């Protein structure tokens, strides 16, 4: 019998389409037991509504918990498209009080509850800012050792040309953080220094994949199953948004988060890893990555 990957998804779903694609992938993988979805960064209640709508479309009863919207130490304006939920949520759905939808608003506490209930069993798939995790670690000292591991879509590596075929143990590479770190650097720092087992998919890896063509078209016009149709509606809005702000036709996307979700379920199947550490560089806004 296949052992199920027990996953808690922590996400800023609703802006870039890749979070919704990651959730859709998790729903369609028979190897996954999705035990909860928590939302982070910005309008977390709206993000929770979007996640719950996709889950209910799939006919699954998975808890959705809104989390912390404000970064611990804001240094950048909150980023949002202004199109979150458009095409998926009706105006009447938006007016329903979130408590009437059964959505909690204490994601860090929920994460602590779930992890401590089954120590060493749960993987947290973090595809947004690390604010909820940082608060959970602050709330409960046992949390770090009770998590099986965290799989995080974030950080970043900037290589000198040419890009090395293999990363050399002991070598240093400069790194500037991608959005999920830079939007809450303090939360990332607190998570990285705890010793919590963490696998980081950096954006130099995920940007090597571009998703377009027939499969994108199939999702855009899908009418079944319902959860696929729901994500297709969000994809249409996302591609329209990108086309508008870039001033040229955009017919594909970079699936950062689905790649990270795949690695959470099938570790090592799609990418190679190096063990490293990510200290904060003194006097700089970037991070250093040592392998």
Question: Residue 35: which of 105, 117, 154, 98 has the closest Cα?
Answer: 117
Per-residue pLDDT of 225-258, as tens digits, reads 999 999 999 999 999 999 999 999 999 999 999 9
- The Cα 211–Cα 171 span in angstroms is 32
101 C-beta neighbours (distance < 10 Å), count: 15
- The Cα 86–Cα 244 span in angstroms is 15
What is the pTM for the complete model shown?
Answer: 0.91
CATH C-level class of 5-290: alpha beta
Per-residue pLDDT of 141-196, as tens digits, reads 999 999 999 999 987 766 666 667 777 777 777 667 788 999 999 999 999 988 89
3-state secondary structure of 188: helix
């Amino acid at each position: 019998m296949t052992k199920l990957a027990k996953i808690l998804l922590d996400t800023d779903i609703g802006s870039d389409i890749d979070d919704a694609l990651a959730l859709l992938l998790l729903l369609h993988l028979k190897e996954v037991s999705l035990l909860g979805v928590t939302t982070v960064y910005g309008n977390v209640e709206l993000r929770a509504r979007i996640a719950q709508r996709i889950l209910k479309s799939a006919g699954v009863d998975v808890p959705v918990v809104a989390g912390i919207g404000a970064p611990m130490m804001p240094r950048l304006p909150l980023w949002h498209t202004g199109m979150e939920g458009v095409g998926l949520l009706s105006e009447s759905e938006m007016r329903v009080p979130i408590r009437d939808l059964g959505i909690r608003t204490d994601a860090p506490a929920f994460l602590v509850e779930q992890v401590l209930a089954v120590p060493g069993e749960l993987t947290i798939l973090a595809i947004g800012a690390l604010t909820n995790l940082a608060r959970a670690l602050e709330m409960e000292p046992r949390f770090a050792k009770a998590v099986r591991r965290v799989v995080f879509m974030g950080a970043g590596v900037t290589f000198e040309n040419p890009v090395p075929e293999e990363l050399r143990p002991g070598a240093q590479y400069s790194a500037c953080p991608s959005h999920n770190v830079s939007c809450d650097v303090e939360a990332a720092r607190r998570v990285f220094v705890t010793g919590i087992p963490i696998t980081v998919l950096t954006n130099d890896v995920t940007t090597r994949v571009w998703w377009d063509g027939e499969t994108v078209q199939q999702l855009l016009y899908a009418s079944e199953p319902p959860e696929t149709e729901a994500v297709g509606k969000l994809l249409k809005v996302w591609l329209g948004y990108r086309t508008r702000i870039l001033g040229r036709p955009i017919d594909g996307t970079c699936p950062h988060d689905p790649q990270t979700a795949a690695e959470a379920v099938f570790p090592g199947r799609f990418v190679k890893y190096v063990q490293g550490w990510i200290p904060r560089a003194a006097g700089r806004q970037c991070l250093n990555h040592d392998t």
